[in-house]
Structure 1
Amino acid sequence: MRIGLVVDSACDLPLDYLQRHDVTILPITVRIGEAVLADHRNEQATLEFLHAHVAERGAEAETMPFTVQQIHDLFLERLVIDYDHVFCMTITRSRSPIFDNATQAGFSILNDYRPVRSAAGHDTPFALRVIDTQNLFAAQGITAVEAIRLREAGEGPPKIRARLEHLALHTHGYMIPRDLYYLRARARKKNDRSVGLLSAALGSALDIKPVLRGYRGETGPVAKIKGFEPAVEKLFAFTIARIHAGLMTPTVCLSYGGELEEMRMLPGYHDLERTCADNNIELFESVMSLTGMVNVGKGALVVGFAAENSPAFG
């Protein structure tokens, strides 16, 4: 059976890795004033757009995910021909309409695919499953990497579906933003009251950085640490401890809102890199998606991994 995999462009994995494993990307378009860029996970284009626009007016940006019709058309033009069963893994539905759009499109796709497949010489059924990863950015990558591994191991759709849905329940994403004022301005643009003016002002004045966790569709602070670099060092140390305790998959994903060389110079990075190598953990690093950067700001760091028993951050 030919199994296809789809992610949206907020899923922070390297483009060459996604291309090498034939993973289809649902792009998210970002508009800032008159400037428009469809995010296809091109890191160079993202960095150029970042330096030109995000730092100045990113909080005003509009993000436009694929509509129901666009998803429908993508599947009928290509995916229902190239594959027999497709898993579409999306950013958490609590933060984006992509899951709902893909689910709605799925009903019409399953009604309309037969003539298209028949014309291409396929008389077997087509199936589509939309998976809510229940997380964001680098943490989305955990589910996608596991889907690739399972497909390459020759597993069938029932086992892949059960594994991905179970994994989504145990995926943890941790983010440290650099600029709380930016985060608050962006939250206000989206009518999200989670970052108040007082906390932003106090945090910036005292250089206090929150550590935010994404888990089962919910996002919220789990710690406040003075200084961005000390916060990052503590997050890397926490991740190392989780590796030693045992992860559900041999995968850690990192994404950074800027040049990756900047991220690799942060305290604790090389300890994490060495720990991953010593424990046969694959470490994925990518420039944060443009969608991620306009939502959380330039210079933010995200770490994702899956663990059944992850204790409180500390």
Structure 2
Amino acid sequence: MRMGLAIDAACDLPQAFLQEHNIAVMPITIQVDDEVFMDNRNQVELHRFLDRKLGSRSHSAETIPCSVEDVQQLFLGKLVLEHDCVFCLTITATRSAINEHVNKASFAVLKHYREAREKHNLSGPFLMRVIDTRTLFAGSGPAVVEAARLIAAGEQPAAIRERLSYIANNSYGYMLPRDLYYLRARAKKKGDRSVGLVSAMLGSALDIKPLLRGYRGETGPVGKVRGFEHGAETLFNYTAQRVRAGLLVPAVCVSYGGDLADLPQLPGYDRLRAACEECGVELLEAPMSITGMVNVGEGAVTLGFAAEEHVAEF
């Protein structure tokens, strides 16, 4: 059975990894004032967004996830011809409509795939499985990494789906923003009251940053740190501890909202890298998606791993 993977553009993974495993990307359209960007993890478009230096204007951007019709077109025009089963992984349904769109599209895909395949002399059934990773950005990465491993190992679809559901339920996505004013403005644009004006003012005045976590569909603060550099060091040191304690997927995914060359310069990153090397854990570094930067601001860090349930201690 030919099995494949599809993700939405907000799942932060390196372009080389996506190409190696032939992973399809469902794009997200970003409109900032009169400028439109197609977020499909294409590096050219990503650099165009960064080069425009939109700064504070991005908080008012409109993000339009891949529509039901676009998902249908991607599957019926391409994926049902290349694969017999596709696992489609999305960021948490509580923060994006893409999971709902893919689920709705799946009905039409499963209804019409036979005629699409017959035109190309293909027979046999087609399976489409949708997985909500229950977290976002780099936090969604470990589930995709595990999916690629299971497919390469020749596991059956039912076993893969069960395993991915378990990994999604135990995926931790962390985020460290740089600019609380930006984060509050974006939250206000989306009707999210999680970052209030007073907390943003106090946080900026005292240089206090929240450590946010996406876990099992819920997103919220799990700690506070003083200063972005100290916050990065705290997050990386904590993750190194989790790596040594043991992960469910031997991978840590990190994304950065800017020039990826700046990521290794952050305090504590060398210790995280050393811990991963010591424990045989792959460290996957990726630019943050345009969607991610629009929602949390440039210069932010997101990080993800999958582990048994535990209490976050910062």
TM-based fold match above 0.5 = yes
Matched, 1:77 2:89: no
Aligned to 1:199: 199
Residues 45-84 of structure 1 deviation map (CA, whole Å, 9 limit, x = unaligned): 3133123143141001111111101101111101111111
Conservation of the 8 A alpha-carbon contact between 1:54 and 1:294 = no
- Separation in 1, partners of 2:48, 2:67: 26
- Separation in 1, partners of 2:91, 2:180: 23
Aligned to 1:231: 231
- Separation in 2, partners of 1:305, 1:135: 11
- Separation in 2, partners of 1:46, 1:117: 34
Aligned to 1:209: 209
**Correspondences of 1:138-157 after superposition (within 5 Å):** 138-157=138-157
Matched, 1:186 2:151: no
**Correspondences of 1:149-298 after superposition (within 5 Å):** 149-298=149-298
- Separation in 1, partners of 2:151, 2:261: 32
Residues 95-119 of structure 1 deviation map (CA, whole Å, 9 limit, x = unaligned): 0000000000001111111111112
Conservation of the 8 A alpha-carbon contact between 2:13 and 2:285 = yes
Aligned to 1:52: 52
Q: Measure how far apart 1:312 and its partner are.
A: 2.0
Q: So what's the TM-score if we normalise by structure 2?
A: 0.98
Aligned to 1:13: 13
SS in 2 for 1:36: strand
CA RMSD of aligned residues (A): 1.0
Residues 258-284 of structure 1 deviation map (CA, whole Å, 9 limit, x = unaligned): 111211100000111111111110000
Aligned to 1:38: 38
Amino acid across the alignment from 2:174: Y
Conservation of the 8 A alpha-carbon contact between 2:38 and 2:45 = no
- Pick closer, same or farther for the CA change 1:242–1:176 going to 2, 3 Å: same
**Correspondences of 1:55-134 after superposition (within 5 Å):** 55-134=55-134
How many residues get paired? 314
- Separation in 1, partners of 2:258, 2:73: 33
Q: Measure how far apart 1:208 and its partner are.
A: 0.2
- Separation in 1, partners of 2:212, 2:268: 18
Q: So what's the TM-score if we normalise by structure 1?
A: 0.98
- Separation in 1, partners of 2:278, 2:309: 21
Conservation of the 8 A alpha-carbon contact between 1:32 and 1:53 = no
SS in 1 for 2:52: helix
Conservation of the 8 A alpha-carbon contact between 1:242 and 1:310 = no
Where do 5+ consecutive residues of structure 1 fail to align?
Answer: none
Where do 5+ consecutive residues of structure 2 fail to align?
Answer: none
Conservation of the 8 A alpha-carbon contact between 1:10 and 1:289 = yes
Matched, 1:136 2:136: yes
- Separation in 1, partners of 2:31, 2:250: 36
Conservation of the 8 A alpha-carbon contact between 2:4 and 2:23 = yes
Residues 238-262 of structure 1 deviation map (CA, whole Å, 9 limit, x = unaligned): 0011011111010000000111121
- Separation in 2, partners of 1:83, 1:309: 34
- Separation in 2, partners of 1:283, 1:129: 27
Q: Measure how far apart 1:309 and its partner are.
A: 3.2
- Separation in 1, partners of 2:303, 2:106: 31
- Separation in 2, partners of 1:177, 1:152: 35
- Separation in 2, partners of 1:25, 1:62: 19
Conservation of the 8 A alpha-carbon contact between 2:177 and 2:300 = yes
Conservation of the 8 A alpha-carbon contact between 1:54 and 1:293 = no
- Separation in 1, partners of 2:299, 2:51: 11
Q: Measure how far apart 1:122 and its partner are.
A: 1.8
